Amino acid sequence: MMNSRLPMLLWAEWRQRRTPFFVCLLWMVCGTAYCVAYEWSSGFRAPVASFYSTASLYGLFVPIFLAMRTSLGETTDRTRSFSDGLPISERRRGWIRLAGGAGVLVTPIVAGALLLSVCLASGWLEQAPTRPPQDAHYVGLLNRPSLSALSAVGLVWQVTALVAWSATGLYLVLSLLGTTLRSESHLGYCGAAVAMLWFLGDSLGEIFVSQELPGIAAWIGAIAPQAMIINYGYGHERGGFGDLAISSAVLGPLLVNAVIQFGLAAMFVRRYSRTLSGRAAARAEKTAPGVWRPWTPRLPTRGSALAWLALRQSVPMCLPGLVIACVMTPFQIGSNPQGPVLQRYIDSLSSSMWIIGMLWSVVVGAGIFSAEIDWRIGEFWRTRPIPAWRLFGVKFVVGLLAVLLVLDGTVIAATWNSPNWGDYHSMNGSYIACFLPLHATMFAIAVAWTCVLRRAVMGGMAAIATFALTNIALEWSAATRDFDPIQVYNHLGLASRTPGSPVDFTAHGYPLVAATMGSIVLISILIGWLALRRYDPRRQSG
Amino acid sequence: MSRAAIAVQRLRAGYGKQTVLENVSLEIPQGQTFALLGRNGAGKTTLIRTLLGLLPPSDGSVEVLGLNPSKQPLEIRGRVGYLAEDQAMYGWMTADEIGAFLAPFYPTWDARLAQDLFRRFGVPRRVRIKHLSKGQNVRLGLVLALAHRPELVILDDPTMGLDPITRKQFNRDVVEHLQAEGRTVFYSSHLLYEVEAVADAVAILDQGRLVRVGTTENLQSEVKRVVLSPDALVHRSQPAKLLDVSRRMQRIAVTLDDCAAWIAELRSDGVDHVVEDLSLDDIFEAFVIGQVELWPGRSPNRSAVVA
């Protein structure tokens, strides 16, 4: 009897996970195909590093989505009470649910690794050796001899194991976190914050290596497997494109991490198997807490009411982005100019905010309309005399201002009187000219996708995918490579290094890039507004 | 003579190619409490969405408070108080805050009335909406639907999911606060016993078509159940508005609309019979799932009844 139930459970899990699985598979196969094609055209002999970048990005975002479905999918779909009535233990259901998500997460990474392995084993691509973490006699990647096909394939699987381990670790942490939350959107939002902190783990190995603490650098992987790979880039001292370093001891830390992950999985199953009705009853028994409000807002006009709504939603969403940037900043201090530690810290804020701003503007853009596209709240505002264009317009403008002021504005204000103002590694005119429009563009794309797809997390993922694909398209050709906004920033910033030369905003393709970003914002506004205007919550609810 | 609060003529509406409402016509005078009855999926919510301008009609005309919902949806929503089934609001707001947020959108919003209704309906003002109980949530929705003193209140199955006591309490509030003030109330429900106590008029919607419209009083006086011997029906023609025929021990129970003439005929023929009054629940059941196949020597003829 028990044996006949297991295949049915697995079948049901497969049916639920089938679509996300194929999307994930497409992501990794296409990503790996791009790495192969790029390597084939450029001949850098660093396909494993490209694959690592693709898989790392995948392993940072996909766990959020999968953990949301694992922890709270049954709550969203209202199937939990039905499942609770089945003659199957909750623990068994929890394990299968967790394993289903992990399978969807890891299999595409493995598929990508297989594809790359075939290319390397057949000799179609070559791979240079990794860089030893403590290499006193540094030899550039281009000057190192190629690895044998077998060693190259071994390197692929070493990297794959580390990326998959890191991704499942993040997935388990988020799944466990999901058992304490009430909705998928809450977990999506918290998941974005945790993923950003997870991203910082990448730098831990490098920090301990630079501090000459190789023992800790090796074993930090027991907690953060992603720290066992250092991906040296152009920004690093003696860094080169696609130069990887892998910790000397991988197996031991991974085994320790496996024990930790098993503990997380067991905790998840224990929490998941507590029935929903039990949790709901416990909540209902609590007396509804009153909240302290010194005053009720006075909102004399429709615009002020909508602006208040947008501020209350967007500012709390922006603040964790600012906190994450502040936490990330110490990792950036190394490359900054001289000065007292506090001054160097403040100046380094821009080094972390440009990337956090890109990601967090997507989080806020997707999140600010998440309530309005929820069918139940959608029904509420659609049946009031609230014009869709006014709701969209005010929320867009206020949300955008919140992103630019709370994230970028705070950093600009903090560095305004810095003696290092204008330096490439500090706040400068190029940052303001390039990254504020780029953050606005990311915000606008996320808003548009969210309104079109009517799922905040999907909208955010689609915005990041849009950016990634655009970047790939720009990088593909030498003619368009210089029009990548980050490249434009680099060119403008580097040009301003010359003493006495002001930043020339008419050069390096800036006018074209700025105009393009402005156009994308306008087009996104139009698409988002049209989607929200046509939104019918009852049809979405089914 | 005052203008109708709602006037619908030969309405057809639906989603895409799926037609949900077909040839619906009704007129609701101002000040009336009108109950729209129907099973789940009968088209009640679709009709309400058409009235609010959320769904354009495929054919026919709709007028709400003298306005066209397709052309003036925001004006209508500003003058109508609407409470939906299972309605959610921004969970992080308090009752006070959502009142302050909505006030600018309604030119007639009465903040003092809102505070008064919060107190009378027992809605905590400084508790986050997500922490309110289901009953408190419905009552908050009712306050928000009434605080701008709307001319027309539309309630779409508002008590679904509430316990019986809370449902009765809700209906009492509706009766007290709306009927006393002479407001027009459009009340959609499938819980008939709660409608029976408050409705002036009733419409029965079945599979997208209105099968009966009338005042509650007329409906209960015109639809009756007659219990008689099966032999008395053998040579008798089937009434035009026969709704249901069922066996009751050795006798037959016949439910029919517009029954006065047929009962008079039985009396004049000296047929032994008993006439039973019906609750709204029984009437609704007869219209929606009534079967006439048991009529002696007759083939089923439902279309004549519906028409």
Structure tokens at B293: 């196949």
d(CA A452, CA A450): 5
Least confident of A282-291, A321-330, B219-228: A282-291
Q: Which residues neighbour A19 within 8 Å (Cβ) at sequence distance 6 or greater?
A: none
pLDDT value, residue B303: 42
Q: Does A312 touch chain B (CB under 8 A)?
A: yes
Q: State yes or no: pLDDT of B82 exceeds 80.
A: yes
- The count of C-alpha atoms lying within 13 angstroms of the C-alpha of B190, restricted to the half-sphere facing its C-beta, is 15
Give the range with max mean pLDDT: A43-57, A342-356, B65-79, B128-142: B65-79
Amino acid, single-letter form, for residue B32? Q
Residues 361-380, chain A: which have Cβ within 8 Å of B?
371, 374, 376-377, 379-380
Q: What do you get for the CA distance between the two ends of chain A, in Å?
A: 36
Structure tokens at A531: 């989607």
**Mean pLDDT confidence for B244-267:** 88
Q: Which of B15, B103, B105 shows the shortest C-beta gap to A386?
A: B105
| CA torsion, ordered A239, A243, A247, A250, to nearest 10 deg | 160
Q: Which of A377, A384, A538 shows the shortest C-beta gap to B77?
A: A384
Query: Which residues share a beta bridge with B4?
Result: B29
Is residue B86 within 8 A of residue B160, CB to CB? The reply is yes
pLDDT value, residue A536: 76
Q: Pairing state of beta strands B152-156 and B184-189?
A: parallel
Strand (E) or helix (H) holding B64: strand B59-64
Structure tokens at A283: 């909540």
Q: State yes or no: pLDDT of B2 exceeds 60.
A: no
Q: Which of A317, A372, A374, A379 to mutate to test the interface with B (most CBs of B within 10 A)?
A: A379
Q: Pairing state of beta strands B273-276 and B251-256?
A: unpaired
**Percent of chain A residues topping a pLDDT of 70:** 91
pLDDT value, residue A29: 94
Structure tokens at B106: 């309604």
Residues 247-276, chain A: which have Cβ within 8 Å of B?
none
Q: Quick one: DSSP state of residue A327?
A: H
Task: Determine the number of helices (DSSP H) and then strands (DSSP E) in chain A.
Answer: 21, 2
Structure tokens at B104: 């600018």
pLDDT value, residue A288: 62
Bigger pLDDT: B134 vs B95:
B95
Q: State yes or no: pLDDT of A267 exceeds 80.
A: yes
Tell me what the pLDDT averaged over chain B comes to.
86
**Mean pLDDT confidence for A144-163:** 91
Q: How confident is the model at residue A542 (pLDDT cuts 50, 70, 90)?
A: very low
d(CA A435, CA A408): 9
Bigger pLDDT: B278 vs A476:
B278
**Mean pLDDT confidence for A69-77:** 86
d(CA B19, CA B4): 26
Condensed to tens digits (0 to 9), the pLDDT of residues A356-413 reads 999 999 999 999 998 898 888 888 999 999 999 999 999 999 999 999 999 999 999 9
pLDDT value, residue A203: 76
Q: State yes or no: pLDDT of B306 exceeds 50.
A: no
pLDDT value, residue A238: 53
Q: Quick one: DSSP state of residue A218?
A: H
Bigger pLDDT: A47 vs A78:
A47
Structure tokens at A22: 């194929």
Q: State yes or no: pLDDT of B301 exceeds 60.
A: no
Condensed to tens digits (0 to 9), the pLDDT of residues A4-25 reads 677 888 888 899 899 999 999 9
Amino acid, single-letter form, for residue B96? D
**Percent of chain B residues topping a pLDDT of 70:** 95
Q: By CB neighbour count within 10 A (0-12 exposed, 13-18 middle, 19+ buried), where does B195 fall? A: buried
Q: What Cα–Cα distance (Å) separates residue B257 from each residue in B230, B236, B238, B273, B290?
A: 19, 17, 12, 17, 12
Q: Quick one: DSSP state of residue B278?
A: -
Over A378-434, what HEC string results? HHHHHCCCCCHHHHHHHHHHHHHHHHHHHHHHHHHHHHCCCCCCCCCCCCCHHHHHH
Q: Which of B78, B90, B106 shows the shortest C-beta gap to A377?
A: B90
Q: Which residues of B touch A376 (CB under 8 A)?
A: 86-88
Q: Which residues neighbour A353 within 8 Å (Cβ) at sequence distance 6 or greater?
A: A325, A407, A408, A411, A435
pLDDT value, residue A361: 95
Condensed to tens digits (0 to 9), the pLDDT of residues A430-467 reads 899 999 999 999 999 999 999 999 988 889 989 988 99
**Percent of chain B residues topping a pLDDT of 90:** 41
Q: State yes or no: pLDDT of A80 exceeds 80.
A: no
Instruction: Determine phi and psi for B80, rounding to 5 degrees.
Output: -110, 140
pLDDT value, residue A390: 94
d(CA A25, CA A14): 14
Q: Which residues neighbour B196 within 8 Å (Cβ) at sequence distance 6 or greater?
A: B216, B279, B280, B281
pLDDT value, residue A282: 56
Closest-CA residue of chain A to B132: A288
Rg (CA), chain A: 24
Taking residue B218's Cβ as centre, other Cβ atoms within 10 Å add up to: 12
pLDDT value, residue A447: 97
Q: How confident is the model at residue A133 (pLDDT cuts 50, 70, 90)?
A: low
**Percent of chain A residues topping a pLDDT of 90:** 42
pLDDT value, residue B305: 40
Q: How confident is the model at residue A234 (pLDDT cuts 50, 70, 90)?
A: low
State ipTM.
0.83
Token match 């709204």: residue? B280
pLDDT value, residue A538: 66
**Mean pLDDT confidence for A307-323:** 94
Chain B interface residues (partner A, CB cutoff 8 A) = 15, 45, 49, 52, 54-55, 74-75, 77-78, 82, 84, 86-90, 92, 94, 96-97, 100-106, 124, 126-128, 131-133
**Mean pLDDT confidence for A28-35:** 91
Q: State yes or no: pLDDT of A119 exceeds 70.
A: yes
Q: How confident is the model at residue B154 (pLDDT cuts 50, 70, 90)?
A: very high
Give the range with max mean pLDDT: A312-321, B185-194, B225-234, B277-286: A312-321
Q: Does A137 touch chain B (CB under 8 A)?
A: no
pLDDT value, residue B191: 73
Is residue A488 within 8 A of residue A518, CB to CB? The reply is no
Q: How confident is the model at residue B307 (pLDDT cuts 50, 70, 90)?
A: very low
Contact B100 A297 (CB under 8 A): yes
Least confident of B62-66, B79-83, B234-238, B241-245: B234-238
d(CA A354, CA B279): 70
Contact B102 A305 (CB under 8 A): yes
Instruction: Determine phi and psi for B64, rounding to 5 degrees.
Output: -125, 120
Q: Which residues of B touch A283 (CB under 8 A)?
A: none
Q: Which of A305, A374, A387 shows the shortest C-beta gap to B104?
A: A305
Contact A384 B15 (CB under 8 A): no
pLDDT value, residue A43: 79
pLDDT value, residue A342: 87
Q: State yes or no: pLDDT of A114 exceeds 90.
A: yes
Q: Which residues of B touch A382 (CB under 8 A)?
A: 54
Q: State yes or no: pLDDT of A42 exceeds 90.
A: no
pLDDT value, residue B177: 74
Tell me what the pLDDT averaged over chain A comes to.
85
Q: Which residues of A touch B92 (CB under 8 A)?
A: 312
Q: Does A304 touch chain B (CB under 8 A)?
A: yes
pLDDT value, residue A514: 94
Instruction: Determine phi and psi for A165, rounding to 5 degrees.
Output: -60, -45
